[in-house]
Chains A and B, each alone.
Chain A
Amino acid sequence: MSGALDYLQDLDRSVFDGANQQSYALKAQKGLSEALIRRISSDKKEPEWMLAHRLKSLAAFLKMPLPKFGVDLSDIDFESLIYYAAPSEMGGYATKWEDVPDDIKKTFERLGIPEAERKVLAGTGAQYDSLNAYHKLKEEWEAKGVLFEDMDIALQKYPDLVKKYFMKCVPLHDHKFAALHGAVWSGGTFLYIPEGVKVTAPLQAYFRMNAKSMGQFEHTLIVVESGGEAHYIEGCSAPKYGSTSLHAGCVEIFVKPSAKFRYSSVENWSQDTYNLNTKRAIVEENAIMEWVGGNLGSGRTMLYPCSILKGRGARADHLGVAFANAGQIQDTGAKVMHLAPDTSSTVLSKSISKNGGVNVYRGLLHVAKGATGAKSQIRCDALILDALSKNDTFPTMRIQEDDVSIGHEASVGRISEEQLFYLQSRGISEEAALAMIVNGFIEPIVKALPLEYAVEMNRLIEMEMERAIA
């Protein structure tokens, strides 16, 4: 647990649930149609191939069934969702903090991204609904050829680079929501790390859904060339609304030989959100991919970051925390595909269930024939805080090679009365003691986050611990 916990003490949950007054230029167009797809594409002045990709995706989406596993998605009313919106006052994206509209600045400040922090950050991209409010990359990285852009802008500025990788890691036919994403994606982040360039400070982006009933379909495309290194982190929180929102973003990461990349995210979408994100990385020879994820929000989550270990000696580490409170189902996990010899992976998943919340760990470990010497360690720890709450674990293993070393451990625990009594005997209230034990439980994962995110994560856990059954 971080000693700097007081740091964000003033931040309360209302920050995450307060909607800004917004006027939407492209107001209230609900439902999905070919006309809408064409309008998105022409608004964004996209190349022909992207429109073709969108239309192909739409056709696939309409044909494909809902997933047959995980949470029940039959309540999603695709016709009543808004698939595309942009705040009217923003004609493009700001390169200077001064150009960011005050209203939006305030939102970021309340979310705990103070102006002063920009100096520390290598760059800040922030999606405000579908357009980027603020995007800046420090000059030193620009000089080294690092590209850190809003995805829409990147498509304009680097069409060939985008075309080479776009939805090549997560193909549109992957599943129904990948197809939907391919049709209506908007905004997101493009990050390109050239060969041998090492970016030490984490690159950050903050996402936020704001329009009522709005789906968010941002696309994150990351390419780390050979020997490059970077850490990208995004957090998101959505305001509370009465009707159901759908989030079907897509993250594609290409980690080239001997490169090293860490992707961290803290997801705290509001309770009425379906979070159906697809995240996948292709990891080449001797490259390292690290996933660090915290899932606290959303009524329904299905999220299984995937690493495809394609080159010899490739490695992936998956660290994940999920918190399911009243009314929430967190169906999360990790997928690792060992396709080459000497590949290795570790998965550490920690879940907390409270007030009737349900956590499901759904993992897949695949070792292909010929992936000799593959190693994998999987560990799932669940903490269940009361008799109402639940946890399930579904680890699937498909091992087609004999020369492998695989370990799987799972534990289900409850808060120990003895630990609680020990802390209370030191004057710490029962509530604070519970939060302390829970923060201690997830510490192995939180410590992989940069300090300000670790602090926010601990604070979010405290807020969840305070929340009673509605």
Chain B
Amino acid sequence: MALLSITNLKVKVESKEILHGLNLKIGAGEVHAIMGPNGSGKSTLASTLMGHPRYTVTDGSVKLGTKDLLGMRPEERAAAGLFLAFQYPKEIPGVNLVSFLRAAYNSVMGARKKSFKPVPLYTFKKQVQEMMERLKLPLSFLNRNVNEGFSGGEKKKVEILQMALLEPKLAVLDETDSGLDIDALKTICEAIAEVRKPEQSIVMITHYERMLKYLKPDFIHIMIDGRVVMSGGKELAKKLEKEGYDYVRRQIPSSLKML
């Protein structure tokens, strides 16, 4: 049984339909890439999965394992094992990173396990330290306000730090690669590969091919105008790596004007 099943998903924002019946299945331990041009609805899909209140589901279903995600609040989805690395992580003025991370960790773990005891600050700091070193994030970031004044790359690293902490079953990475220089991209991808447990699934959303080199996806989906128009395995990845979107253009002539 698939870990995540999306069936005929239709989503609208402010009375405009963005996703027009999207289907996708992700198995446990698989790495998927969703690619597509700007405006094709990739972030809309990610936000809808996480339960953003502004995105209204008008049809279809989304299941994580046997659970119906669509009836759950965002915090319940997080506890159920879904994680979203934001394309644009939000700043929270006046809230320092370590207290935010600890609140998130204690909430998620507490919801998953009845016997879980909130981790005291000191122990928690030690726990995140190793991961921060791996991501080449200075420890002083713990005392800074969440995402305030962080560079684009630092914000993305902090998203991955949260992913590592919260041990999701499925992590959706929305354009984690955009705005990164090649060194930061490499650091992040290596960190993801190192902390990832074999049963964890990853969906990376991107519109470049460069992230595919580091996190070799098992499946690739091409999304255009609110639908998945083409899916394939490693061969598709190779073709895209070599030929870029030209390959898709040739396969689906109707998509030409979109690309």
Contacts and interface: CB of A to CB of B under 8 A. Distances in A.
A425 B79 contact: no
A429 B72 CA distance: 12
A440 B166 contact: no
B93 interface: yes
Contacts of B102: 3
Nearest to B142: A3
A89 to B, nearest CB: 41
B90 A3 contact: no
Interface string B72-95: 011101110001101001111111
B164 to A, nearest CB: 13
A423 interface: yes
A427 B95 contact: no
B254 to A, nearest CB: 35
A4 B99 CA distance: 9
Contact of B92 (A2, A6, A419, A427): A419
Contacts of A428: 75, 103-104, 107
A419 B75 contact: no
A4 B92 CA distance: 18
A5 B102 CA distance: 11
Nearest to A442: B94
B108 interface: yes
Q: How many interface residues does chain A have, given as a range?
A: 20 to 34
B107 A429 contact: yes
A273 interface: no
A442 B94 CA distance: 7
Nearest to B77: A425
A439 B94 contact: yes
- Most chain A beta carbons < 10 A, residue from B83, B103, B108, B166: B103
A443 B146 CA distance: 13
Interface stretch (B20-28, B50-58, B126-134, B209-217): B50-58
A430 to B, nearest CB: 7
Contacts of B202: none
Q: Which of B90, B94, B162 has the most CB of A within 10 A?
A: B94
Contacts of B53: 417, 421
A422 interface: yes
B95 A443 contact: yes
A426 B92 contact: no
Nearest to B80: A427
A424 interface: yes
A3 B95 contact: no
A111 interface: no
B118 interface: yes
A330 B103 CA distance: 31
B95 A437 contact: yes
A432 B93 contact: no
B111 interface: yes
B94 A441 contact: yes
A441 B91 CA distance: 12
Contact of B121 (A4, A422, A423): A4
B99 A424 contact: no
Identify whether the interface residues of A are mostly helix, strand, loop, or mixed.
Answer: helix
B96 A426 contact: no
B90 A427 contact: no
B94 A425 contact: no
B123 to A, nearest CB: 12
Given A426-B104, A429-B107, A440 B90 contact: no
B145 interface: yes
B99 A426 contact: no
A428 B107 CA distance: 6
B104 A427 contact: yes
B100 interface: yes
A418 interface: yes
A437 B92 contact: yes
B83 to A, nearest CB: 8
A436 interface: yes
B95 A440 contact: yes
Given A419-B92, A430-B75, A440 B104 contact: no
B90 A1 contact: no
Most chain B CB within a 10 A radius of its CB, from A6, A425, A443, A444? A425
A3 B96 contact: yes
Contacts of B96: 1, 3
A427 B111 contact: yes
B75 A427 contact: yes
Contacts of A444: 94
Contacts of A421: 50-53, 74, 90
Nearest to B109: A427
Interface string A61-105: 000000000000000000000000000000000000000000000
B98 interface: yes
Contact of B78 (A2, A416, A427): A427
B166 A427 contact: yes
Contacts of A427: 75, 78-79, 104, 107-108, 111, 166
A6 B162 CA distance: 21
B67 to A, nearest CB: 15
Contacts of A426: 75, 78, 100, 103-104, 107-108, 162, 166
Interface in A1-23: 1-6
A243 B233 CA distance: 75
Given A1-B94, A421-B53, 10 more contacts: A1-B99, A3-B98, A416-B90, A421-B52, A421-B90, A426-B108, A427-B104, A427-B166, A428-B75, A442-B94
28 contacts: A1-B94, A1-B96, A3-B98, A3-B121, A4-B121, A5-B99, A6-B120, A418-B90, A423-B100, A424-B51, A424-B78, A426-B75, A426-B108, A427-B78, A427-B104, A428-B75, A428-B103, A429-B107, A432-B103, A436-B92, A436-B95, A437-B92, A440-B93, A440-B94, A440-B145, A441-B94, A443-B93, A443-B94
Shortest beta-carbon contacts, A-B, top 5 = A440-B94, A443-B94, A427-B108, A426-B104, A427-B78
